[in-house]
Every structure is written in C-alpha cells, then in structure tokens.
Amino acid sequence: MFDEIFKNTGNTKRFSKGAILQNAGQKFAKAFYVKKGLLKSYIIDEKGKEHIFMFASEGWIASDIESQAFNNETILFIEAIEISEVVIVDVNNFSQSEKNMNEFQSILEALTKRIGVMQRRILSLMSASARERYEYFLQTYPELPNRIPQKMIASYLGITPEALSTIRNKITKKD
C-alpha cells in the first residue's frame, strides 16, 4: 500500500550495508520509507557508546520527528544495516503536495503505529524487566532476531549482550 503512495513523493535509492543515510547535526526534513532491507536509528553518547532508538524494516518509516517538527538539527543517525532500498521523502514537499485524503489517512496510520511502538517502548524502559522488554521486542519485530546481531538487540533494549544471552537461555530452557 505505501509503495504506491511513496513512489511519486521521493526518490528511491539503494544503500549498502553500513551506509549512513542521516548524520546527527544535520538540518533537513527527510523521511526514509523502507521498501527492502533494514535501517536503524541511534544516538552516540559522550562516551562514544551507541544507543539504538528504533529499527525500520520493510514497510516502516525512519526519520527524526523532533527535528522535523521543530526545525532543529537532527539528533539521530540513520544507518542501513542490510543492503536496503529506500524511498527518500522530503517531508516539506510531501506535506505540501498531499491532496488525496485516502493517502493521507494511510500515512497517518503508519505514523500512529510508529508513535504507539515508541510510547510502549518508553514505558517499558521505565517499568518493565529486561525479559519483558525482550519479549515485547520479539512481538514488535518478529523477523529481526535472525537479521541482526545480538549486540544491536541488546543496545535497543538497554542491556548488555551478556544479559540478553542469559535471558534467551532462560526462555529456551523454559520452553
């Protein structure tokens, strides 16, 4: 459904694994719709540690919403972690050219889904155990454990790779 909507709103580009689509500190309003592949958005703290904010696989949109909403510099890096085919959408042009209500409704649904996932993630970071966060990760991104290294999953969950390994072992032994 979104392929049809986005095909006339931006240009499709192919990115190699490890390609940076957006650096922190830029000032632009771009969104990245993933047709194929996998992206991650993340920050790097003052100690140089990477903290993964979200993953975007096929059908997901990655962008720095705060930067776009408030016309600030971007705070997120966005990187391809697989060879990816991505539609790059200039958010300013897209919102000005959007006239079809059905297309607008579809985009609103996609953004609402993304906001819902982020809200749930923030709440779980505040109150859920590491195991509960991992189980929610599996529900949200069921295809990702086979596509990304454990180190990235641990970063997303805010735990060490060793703690994630312990959780995975406990789940395996219980089943």
| pLDDT surpassing 80 at residue 8 | no
| pLDDT surpassing 60 at residue 96 | no
Report how far residue 1's alpha carbon sits from residue 100's, in angstroms, rounded to the nearest whole number.
Answer: 14
61-63 vs 10-15, strand pairing mode: unpaired
Q: How far is the first Cα of the chain from the last one, in angstroms, to the nearest whole number?
A: 37
Question: How far, in whole angstroms, is CA 132 from its chain's centroid?
Answer: 20
41-83 pLDDT tens trace: 999 999 999 999 999 999 888 888 777 777 788 889 999 999 9
CATH for 2-97 (1.20.1440.230, 3.40.50.150, 3.10.20.340, 2.60.120.10): 2.60.120.10
Instruction: Please tell me the predicted confidence (pLDDT) of residue 65.
Output: 79
How long is the chain?
Answer: 175
- Decide which of 148 and 140 is more confident: 148
Alpha helices in the chain (DSSP H): 2-6, 65-70, 91-97, 101-127, 130-140, 150-157, 161-174
